[in-house]
């Protein structure tokens, strides 16, 4: 997935998300990362992993609405497409939030007998090129990926990741 030499050369530290999913590149100032933990005895708990993300998506949707952004929550199963298993923001998963058909909030979850941890990446703008440059692909595949992934990423101007994060934190059940 990630080309270790390319990542090291770019000064990028690589970590594996235990929750799975495609690659994500965290860049300060362009995104916000939020971990939410839900204990198994919480009323929001659902054994079904597709339905389990619904409350997270609803909270993200409400946060964006509070900021005046029209969004939709993906309610179906994972739609990975050609690049989705390799690059997180190329696919759509349960509870993920889209604006103008572009993913703005990506979700993954890791479950144990005691809790579920939802990892949320809020990315109001996203350029696939820096991430694709770090992947173990041929030059032709990199070019194809950047072209394919850049097309669906055009969205209206959105509030900053920090503003979306703050609005989301205010919308979470307490």
Q: What is the pLDDT of residues 85-101, one digit of tens each?
A: 899 989 999 999 999 88
Q: What is the pLDDT of residue 174?
A: 66
**How far is 109 from 57, CA to CA, in rounded Å?**
12
Q: What is the mean pLDDT of the chain?
A: 89
153 has pLDDT over 60: no
Domain that holds residue 153: 4-171
Count of structural domains within the chain: 1
Other C-beta atoms closer than 10 Å to the C-beta of 95 total: 28
For the four alpha carbons of 62, 66, 67 and 69, in that order, the dihedral sign comes to: positive
Q: What is the pLDDT of residue 126?
A: 81
Q: Which helix (H) or strand (E) holds 33?
A: strand 32-39
Is residue 171 a contact partner of residue 63, using CB atoms and an 8 Å limit?
yes
- CATH, residue 21: 3.30.930.10
């Amino acid at each position: 997935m990630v080309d270790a030499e390319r990542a090291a050369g770019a000064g990028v530290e690589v970590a594996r998300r235990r929750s799975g999913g495609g690659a994500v590149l965290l860049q300060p100032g362009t995104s916000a990362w939020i971990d939410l933990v839900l204990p198994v005895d919480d009323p929001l708990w659902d054994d079904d992993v597709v339905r389990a993300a619904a409350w997270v998506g609803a909270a993200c949707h409400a946060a964006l609405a509070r900021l005046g952004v029209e969004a939709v929550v993906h309610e179906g199963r994972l739609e990975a497409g050609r690049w989705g298993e390799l690059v997180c923001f190329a696919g759509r998963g349960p509870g993920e939030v889209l604006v103008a058909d572009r993913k703005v909030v990506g979700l993954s979850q890791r479950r144990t007998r005691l809790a579920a941890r939802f990892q949320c990446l809020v990315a109001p703008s996203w350029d696939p090129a820096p991430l694709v440059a770090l992947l173990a692909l041929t030059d032709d595949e990199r070019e194809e990926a950047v072209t394919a992934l850049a097309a669906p990423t055009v969205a209206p101007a959105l509030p900053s990741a920090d503003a979306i994060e703050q609005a989301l934190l205010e919308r979470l059940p307490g």
